[in-house]
Amino acid sequence: MKPDQTLEIIALADLVEKARVVQAQGGRLVQICATALPSEFELTYSFDFGGRLASFRVQVPRDHPRVPSIGSVYACAFLYENEMHDLFNLSVEGMTVDFHGKLYNTAIKYAFGETKAPPAKPQPAAAAAQPN
Amino acid sequence: MARTIIPFGPQHPVLPEPVHLDLVVEDEKVVEARPSIGFVHRGLEKLVEKKDYVEFVYVAERICGICSFIHGQTYCQAIEAIMDIPVPPRAHYLRTVWGELSRIHSHLLWLGLMADGMGFESLFMHSWRVREQVLNVIEATTGGRVIFGSCKIGGVRRDIDADGVKHVLAELETIERDMREITKVFINDNSVKKRLSGVGTLSRQEAHDLGCVGPVLRASGVAQDMRQLGYAAYPELEMEPVTRTDGDSYARCAVRCDELFQSVSLIRQALARIPAGEIAVKVNGNPKGEVIMRTEQPRGEVVYCLKANGGRNLQRFRVRTPTFANIPAMLKLLQGCDLADVPVLVLTIDPCISCTER
């Protein structure tokens, strides 16, 4: 099954205005997905229009990881935006509800911000076979 | 008036899983609720960098212990969409049957927890007694009770033969009869009505604006159900979203009660129309491309975002779980509520922290 969905790349500066337009058209915020790429962060904002999914993507440079909040348009965006901050170390400017890094109590700070998995811990030498 | 902060969770009698809320109260009124999650965050999304995309079905199924099958199914559907894999029709029907059995046992689990939260212990025990019967059917057809391990990319691993179909249908008769007894109490009992009616009302507009999904959204009058998107065997089955218009805790309970019987009907339809044939196709190559796959879990719409660059490992795997989408609504419901209503309001969104802490 091929889902009915579209993806449009937009400029970071147009993000909030785009959210406003989508909201006026009755779009429901479905998700915000952040992806850490080697040179940038890719943020995908998806909206539902009665079953059809429209996504908008912005690219955020790694050396300036700042993105405006769409919380003024979509009240529920604060959760996704706090998640982006806590897991990816992205600064979301103007969040309507800011947990200041306290939403996720993860053991590793900004665990999703890097593109490569941390090196695996060395395994202890194989133990002698245990009887069942 | 002086404000006090009351910590609610992460360990609390009504919470089967850890989530923490700082409740800012004035006298007996909650004026604000601040959530804190991540106590058991597992970083499963990050695991795609280490696990092969085929092997990752096992991880997807383990995101949640309640809606495990639908997690695996959604992941498989996403890979199948990227790789353009033609899944055999029989596999679609089998996925539908197991998905609906998952929904029944999840809703019965919730009904039991809600009864327990209200102090209605006998109702709690009866709800979970019937749930055991559903788990027995799942075990008889898949070999597992919690993790089915039946879904794979390209189809399913197990079939249900003619005797198995008869067994499922016979068990469904008993399960349906018992569910009628239980739901009669949830819908008609005065103490349940008094506890839930008018508590935590969410208007249609609020539910839409807060990004609600599943029974929370439908109880506020929005007829949206991801099963209507046309995945698995749903396009060939008759189904209308269950809705209520009151938007309160009682309406959310009633939607879940009605969905139990909707699932029974879907299983019967699927088993009556299941076509003969293969249950899986061979999968070759690696995925390249991206897709957003949505399905309807017991708690609502789940969103899988997959991005693949042609390697054995995916570039990005992201899951937006239904509980995550319903948290803003829960926080809204808690604002201005009585402190005594907090357990009911937290339970009313059917929170699954395991999913949320993927």
The tokens for A103 are 């939403």
Give the pTM: 0.90
pLDDT at A121: 53
As a whole number, mean pLDDT of residues B159-176 equals 95
At which residue do the structure tokens 């990881």 appear? A65
Report which of residues B147 and B1 the model is more confident about.
B147
Look at residue A35 and give its three-state secondary structure.
strand
Residue-level pLDDT at A64? 84
pLDDT score recorded for residue A102 = 77
Percentage of chain B modeled with pLDDT above 70: 100
Confidence category of residue B90, pLDDT binned at 50, 70, 90: very high
Domain residue limits, chain A = 5-93
Cβ within 8 Å of residue B2, ≥6 positions away:
B26
- The burial of A81, by beta-carbon neighbours within 10 Å (0-12 exposed, 13-18 middle, 19 or more buried), is given as buried
Give the model's pLDDT for residue B187.
95
Region B210-230: mean pLDDT is: 93
A52 touches chain B (CB under 8 A): no
Portion 71-110 of A in contact with B at CB < 8 A = 74-76, 78-79, 86, 99, 102-106, 108
Pick B36's closest partner by Cβ from A4, A28, A102.
A102
Residues A86-99 have a mean pLDDT of 87
The partner residue sitting opposite A104, judged by closest CB among B41, B81, B208, is B41
Encode pLDDT of B227-257 as tens digits: 999 899 999 999 999 999 999 999 999 999 9
Report the C-alpha gap between B48 and B303 in whole angstroms.
Answer: 16
Residue A124: per-residue pLDDT: 57
pLDDT higher than threshold 70 for residue A125: no
Residue type, A81: E
Q: Which pLDDT belongs to residue A122?
A: 56
Mean pLDDT of chain B: 91
For residue B201, name the pLDDT band (cuts at 50, 70, 90): very high
Q: Domains of chain B (ranges plus CATH)?
A: 3-356 (1.10.645.10)
Give, for B5, the enclosing helix (H) or strand (E): strand B3-8
Q: What is the pLDDT of residue B64?
A: 85
Q: Please report, for chain B, how many H helices and E strands are present, in that order.
A: 12, 8
Q: Among partner residues A51, A53, A86, which is closest to B292 by beta-carbon distance?
A: A53
At residue A35, the pLDDT reads 86
Secondary-structure class of domain A5-93 per CATH? alpha beta
Q: What is the pLDDT of residue B352?
A: 77
pLDDT at A128 (0 to 100): 43
Residue B221 has pLDDT above 70, yes or no: yes
Determine the residue of chain A that is closest to B20 in CA distance.
A103
Q: Give the sheet arrangement for strand B3-8, strand by strand.
A: B3-8, B20-26, B29-36
Which has the closest alpha carbon to B353: B69, B60, B102, B66? B66
Contacts of B206 in chain A (CB under 8 A): none
Mean pLDDT of B195-214: 92
Residue A2 to chain B, least CA–CA distance (Å): 6
How far CA B347 is from CA of B110, B245, B333, in Å, comes to 8, 19, 11
* Residue A129 binned pLDDT confidence (cut-offs 50, 70, 90): very low
Q: What is the mean pLDDT of residues B60-74?
A: 89
A85: which 2 tokens? 């901050």
Task: Say what the pLDDT of residue A24 is.
Answer: 94
Give B72's contacts (C-beta < 8 A, 6+ positions apart).
B57, B60, B61, B148, B150, B151
Q: What is the mean pLDDT of residues B78-83?
A: 94
Q: Do B320 and A4 touch (CB under 8 A)?
A: no
Q: Containing H/E element for A95?
A: none
pLDDT in tens, B251-305: 999 999 999 999 999 999 999 999 999 999 999 999 999 999 999 999 999 999 9
The whole-number pLDDT of residue B15 equals 76
Chain B positions in Cβ-Cβ contact with residue A78 (cut-off 8 Å): 328
Q: What angle do CA B15, B19, B21 make, to 5 degrees?
A: 105
Interchain proximity B318–A29, CB inside 8 Å: no
Which of B81, B292, B318 is the closest to A55 by Cβ? B292
Which tens digits make up the pLDDT trace of B290-330? 999 999 999 999 999 999 989 898 888 889 999 989 988 99
* Cross-chain Cβ contact B303/A103 below 8 Å: no
Span B123-161, pLDDT tens digits:
999 999 999 999 999 999 999 888 888 999 999 999 999
